[in-house]
Amino acid sequence: MHITQEMLERFRFYFQESAPLKISQSAFLHTKITDTAMNWDRFANTQHYFSKVISHEMKITNQKQSGRCWLFAACNMLRILIGRKYNIDQFELSTNHLMFFDKLEKINFFLENIIKTADEPYDSRNVMFLLHSPIGDGGQWHMFVNLVKKYGLMPKSAMPDTFQSQNTVTMNHLLLKKIREFAMTLRKCKRENRPTSEIADIKAEMLKTVHAMLESFLGTPPQEFDWEFYDKNGKFHSFKKISPHEFVEKHVPVNLSDYVCLINCPMQDTPYHQTFTVEFLGNVVEGSIVRYVNLPMDMLKRLTLASLQKDEPVWFGCDVGQSFHRDQGIMDLKLYQFETMLQTKFPLTKQQRLEHGESKMTHAMLLNGVDIVDNHPTKWRVENSWGKDYGKDGFFVMTDAWFDEYVYEVAIHKRFLDKAIIELEKQSPITLAPWHPMGALA
């Protein structure tokens, strides 16, 4: 069927005869859609107050024009624990340091997968997937853990942000141009049956080139540094010539391996109470794979709530752009009146949105508070990394109903988990296709 003139006439008549649509047109033509459709009564009744807020909160961070949310969320969690240990008022970890090695490791991970798939045609779905977006800024919890285990951590003062770490578009573009060239070369070498040792030498030279590019863009990661600060009582602390690994061993009061990634993915191919991974998802070749335990939402929320009630902040991944007002920092399913103004419904369920490309995880943040009424959460407090000008000084409000629909992943410490969940996490995971929604990077 094609669009006919008769159909167009019918469409125009429908619009012209609809008073609500004509009113909406008058508003939408001149004003931001989200401001026009805002349910202002709902907005006015949204309060940035919570019955439980974790202790030792610090000022909001800012990832600027970069996709480092997953690194910021994880580092913001750890800085709270470090702050409690040393009674520090304000402190940040270096996400630039982690980004440097994440880019390097992702490139190595990409080149290894290019070699593995060299026998496939260039337009195979696997190869096209690998070439599409191999070194974006995003990541997953296990990828953060891999970086910390291999490269350690350091204060932001030891490796501060650069212009490129805060504005990554051009840097990523140049890196991508280079590694796609490398991919072509490696596929050619593999198809020519060059010796494995020769291909390894060629790849090492490629990594030398991108390492130099990263040093140019992000600076040279220090092998040791001094960490000095005053605590809240004015006491001076000084730690001289420590390495990134020593910083983790001596100053981070938690073992990152003790966290388990739980997801809520109600798709047909991901039954609950099963463990999953995703093909081609990762950064460090020899590191741990991304491993998810899929649970019903009521279990996910119960464990998240238990963590917050014990003063433990929670790293989480969600689809932040849905039913969300950036400036006001509100995530609420009833925030907008799109259905009324556009005279149509948006009825897809969480499962249907995932299975039809309407939703996936796009952003990671930190849960650091919750409002509980009659033993049930009604809203959640979110620490973002977009600076203090959004929400209430950078902190957001998420309704409990929004949590149900658009939160996909949380990282929970093992001490809050049932034995059955811990055993599930140890199982050999089912591998999902690379393009599965659970392969999305925050």
261 is known as an active-site residue: no
What is the model's pTM? 0.96
In the chain, pLDDT over 70 holds for what percent of residues? 100
Q: Are strands 274-278 and 430-432 parallel, antiparallel or unpaired?
A: parallel
Q: What is the pLDDT of residue 41?
A: 87
pLDDT of residue 413: 98
User: To the nearest whole number, what is the mean pLDDT of the chain?
Assistant: 96
pLDDT for the residue 249? 98
Break the chain into its structural domains and give their ranges: 52-439
Distances (CA, A) of 330 to 290, 376, 388: 30, 20, 14
Tens digit of pLDDT for each residue in 146-166? 999 999 999 999 999 999 999
CA distances from 371 to 182, 296, 333, 368 (A): 51, 21, 17, 11
Residue pair 414/312 in contact (Cβ under 8 Å)? The answer is no
Known catalytic membership, residue 69: yes
Distance (Å, whole) CA 106 – CA 124: 21
**Of 172, 384, 413, 436, which residue is the catalytic one?**
384
* pLDDT at position 44: 84
Q: Which of 62, 69, 108, 113 is catalytic?
A: 69
Provide the pLDDT for residue 191.
93
Question: 315: which strand partners?
Answer: 366, 411
- How far from the centroid of its chain's Cα atoms is residue 217's Cα? 23
Q: Which pLDDT score is estimated for 57?
A: 86
pLDDT, block means (10 residues), the chain with 442 residues: 95 94 92 91 88 92 97 97 95 97 98 97 96 96 98 98 98 98 97 96 98 98 97 96 98 97 98 98 96 98 97 98 93 95 96 97 97 95 96 96 98 96 95 97 93
For 53-68, letters b (16+ CB in 10 Å) and e give ebebeeebbbbeebbb
Predicted pLDDT at 248: 98
The CATH architecture annotation of domain 52-439 reads Alpha-Beta Complex (3.90)
Question: Of 56, 142, 363, 436, which residue is the catalytic one?
Answer: 363
